[in-house]
Amino acid sequence: MTDGYDLLDLDRHVYGDPDAPVTVVEYGDLECPYCRAAAPVLRLLVDESQGGVRLVWRHFPLFEVHPHALTAALAAEAAAVAGRFWDFHDLAFADQDHLADPDLRRRAAALGLDPGPFAGAAAQQFAPAVEADYLAGISAGVAGTPTIFVAGTRVSGEPTLDVLRAAVAEASR
């Protein structure tokens, strides 16, 4: 627990109405270009649902492919403690080529946050949260990103708005 923030709560990063009847879970990597492409589609899905859909982000850093994915995930957790997860998420996706420690600290400062816990040894306090997400993903059969579940059912193929709308409609039956 960090300042009242439950690091092991798998639903800690929610976009949309927390009580929405349909939950979309994305296992994502902040350095993944496919996750960056899916982000506006997922946001639109939630925004147009009139409170019917919520998006939950879970970290699944593909650290063997993306060298800064893990440190970016830790920094996102630091932002979350300050209530700024989604702001940091958007900044990371806006410039995925700059996710090294100095970049993460600059992003923190740009958000008006103390850059100290965003990188280096101080960021390791957030490792249990990222690990919990990652292990939950492994248990759910996640192997790549983005992997999206709508009401617990894995969405196959490219997460287009039409595909996601159909999955939400099926889940709402």
Residues, the chain, total?
173
Tokens of 75: 């920094």
Q: What is the CATH number of the domain that holds 156?
A: 3.40.30.10
Establish if 131 belongs to a structural domain.
yes
Containing 28, the helix (H) or strand (E) segment is: strand 22-28
| Euclidean distance between the first and the last CA atom of the chain, given in angstroms as a whole number | 37
pLDDT attached to residue 1: 42
**Structural domain containing residue 45:** 14-171
Tally of domains in the chain: 1
Establish if 163 belongs to a structural domain.
yes
CA distance 44 to 41: 5
CA distance 119 to 106: 10
Establish if 3 belongs to a structural domain.
no
Q: Spell out, as residue ranges, where the chain has pLDDT lower than 70.
A: 1-8
pLDDT tens digits for 29-78? 999 999 999 999 999 999 999 999 999 999 999 999 999 999 999 999 99
Tokens of 144: 């790549």
